[in-house]
Amino acid sequence: MFYSRSKRAQRLMVCLMLLPAFALVLGTFLAGTAISLIQSLDYLPFIGHTQLSLQAYRDILGSTVILHGLVFSLAVALVATIISAMIAMLLAHLLRPYTNQGGWLYFLLQFNIPIPHVVGAVAIGMLFSQSGLLARLAAAAGMIQQPSQFPVLINDQYGAGIIMEYIWKEVPFIAITLLSILKSWVVPYEQQLQLLGAGRWQRWRMVTLPFMLPPLISSCMIVFAYTFGSFEVPYILGSVSQPTLPLLAYEAYLHPDLQRRPEAMAINMVITLISMILIAIYMKWGETHAARRS
């Protein structure tokens, strides 16, 4: 059937091949979301709550701690995404002339992609904390008198350590995506414009940038959604007095008082809702962009 000339049969075969993975991913997501939604509505039979209520949502929307956590999470995710995208664009342009020199370049660029965020967070902490390697080297070099005088970059109020870890991890991911476009799809169009007398800036503005935008925006949406909902990196590198939204959900979930379980699930639903809104915006933008190009 796969080699059939019928496009309908080929599409059916592709759908059947993707069905196991799709069912596993979608089933896990829908099951988790449904459980979170039900418990966020205060339906917890194991503690005697069987009446649906929106009280948990009223509580978190009226809590300044939750709102500060939401704003802080959005700010950290936005700053990390923007900086990662800018560095990745610069890196992709710098490495573009060397993409045909073998796989060593891609190996060096993407060596940290398989490394878990937890390992990256621990490494960032060991490097940039006031008891870390850089603080001790600065003290040994006489730049500061004691390692404790090193700038506070880990567990700080501004999430500097969290942002640094996200940048370290996400820049290669975005750069690899951009390089795959720059080394193949863009080249013929740039050569045509060059033959017509277009300068470097004109080629970048009229060809390179329009081709880069779709993968750049899709990569940034993935990075933003992940960094916004990430738990482990803020848990290791964040400040106790400035928690992110996932940390607040985690604390509420682990609280011995099960009466706070709806609060944890309501926070999870807010995180899920924001992520779904981002996906909807991206899909709408993708449809509009594809319609303009066609």
CA distance 120 to 73: 19
Judge contact between 264 and 249, C-beta under 8 A: yes
The pLDDT assigned to 294 comes to 62
- What contacts 250, CB < 8 A, 6 or more positions away? 231, 235, 264
* Residue 238: C-alpha distances to residues 77, 162, 275 (Å): 13, 6, 21
42: left (phi over 0), alpha (psi -120 to 50) or beta: left
The tokens for 143 are: 């730049």
How high does pLDDT run on average in the chain? 86
Would you tell me how many other CB atoms lie within 10 Å of the CB of residue 17?
11
The pLDDT assigned to 102 comes to 62
Model confidence at 195, pLDDT cuts 50, 70, 90, reads confident
CA distance 169 to 130: 22
The pLDDT assigned to 41 comes to 93
CA distance 231 to 269: 15
Is the predicted pLDDT of residue 78 greater than 90, yes or no? Answer: yes
Closest CA to 120 of 233, 235, 223: 233
CA distance 130 to 261: 36
Which residue would you say has higher pLDDT here, 253 or 3?
A: 253
Which residue would you say has higher pLDDT here, 249 or 207?
A: 249
Judge contact between 215 and 233, C-beta under 8 A: no
Check: pTM over 0.75? Answer yes or no.
yes
Query: What's the full length of the chain, in residues?
Result: 294
pLDDT in tens, 21-44: 888 888 888 898 999 999 999 888
- Three-state secondary structure call for residue 223: helix
Percentage of residues in the chain having pLDDT higher than 70: 95
Which residue would you say has higher pLDDT here, 177 or 105?
A: 177
The pLDDT assigned to 171 comes to 92
Judge contact between 166 and 75, C-beta under 8 A: no
Closest CA to 213 of 106, 294, 105, 285: 285
The tokens for 108 are: 């060096």
Span 196-216, average pLDDT: 84
* Residue 178: C-alpha distances to residues 89, 95, 171 (Å): 7, 11, 11
Span 77-93, average pLDDT: 93
The pLDDT assigned to 103 comes to 66
The tokens for 229 are: 């909902």
Task: Show the DSSP H helices in 204-254 as ranges.
Answer: 209-229, 232-237, 245-254
The pLDDT assigned to 4 comes to 56
Model confidence at 95, pLDDT cuts 50, 70, 90, reads confident
Which residue would you say has higher pLDDT here, 224 or 108?
A: 224
CA distance 268 to 272: 6
Span 47-64, average pLDDT: 89
Lowest mean pLDDT among 103-107, 123-127, 182-186: 103-107
pLDDT in tens, 99-110: 776 667 777 777
First to last CA, the chain: 31
Which residue would you say has higher pLDDT here, 85 or 281?
A: 85
Which residue would you say has higher pLDDT here, 261 or 194?
A: 261
**Crossing angle of the two packed helices 160-182 and 117-128, in degrees rounded to 10:** 120
The pLDDT assigned to 287 comes to 74
- Three-state secondary structure call for residue 189: helix
The pLDDT assigned to 293 comes to 64
